[in-house]
Amino acid sequence: MTESVVNYHRVSRWLHWGIGLLIVVNLVVGIGHDALPKSWMLGHISIGLTVLALSLVRLVWRLTHTVPPLPGDISRAEGLAARGLQWLFYGLMIAVPLSGWIMTSAGKWPIMWFGLIEVPKWAVVKGTPLFEAAHEGHEIMGYAWAALLVVHIVAALRHHFVLKNDILTRMWRDVPQP
């Protein structure tokens, strides 16, 4: 791709919205797990592993494809904040499911991806420093992620409705080239 890229590639958009939807579902289930049937956690684990796999694909895609430049009316500070949040999301898309996988590996039952494929376990035991770090990290990062997701959504809506630029629409559909 060239520097004149205006839209996010269709693959980028599908990965963005697909992973985003899975993340929202998992944040709701993870934060509300005490009020939900225990069986929902099996789906939570499977969705988390899916997010991890798709996020690795998305990271490779992002590193090998040009993204549209930010609009010219975006300040340098706001641009740095936007790009910083994007990279923080990439880190969370890998670290949160990875910490959940490590934590779940300490359980006595096999880890099954949607009941279809057995996923290898990490060599971790409940009560060890690795387990405790994964458990605490998973919870803290999950709440932080939920808060940052709200910031991300509010910023996108601000760009669309207040600033009236194409930030949101180019992640939603093809924006006509100027």
Q: State the pLDDT at residue 136.
A: 98
Whole-model pTM: value is 0.92
Q: Residue 7 corresponds to which tokens in the numbers above? A: 């839209």
Q: State the pLDDT at residue 70.
A: 87
Extract the residue ranges of the chain whose pLDDT is less than 70.
1-5, 175-178
Cβ neighbours for 46, distance < 8 A, ≥ 6 positions apart: 112, 113, 114
Q: State the pLDDT at residue 170.
A: 86
Q: State the pLDDT at residue 129.
A: 98
CB atoms inside a 10 Å sphere around CB 101: 21
Residue 103 has, within 13 A of its CA and on its CB side, a CA count of: 18
174: left (phi over 0), alpha (psi -120 to 50) or beta: beta
Collapsing DSSP states into helix, strand and coil, what is residue 112?
Answer: strand
Q: State the pLDDT at residue 166.
A: 83
Q: State the pLDDT at residue 1.
A: 36
Q: State the pLDDT at residue 5.
A: 62
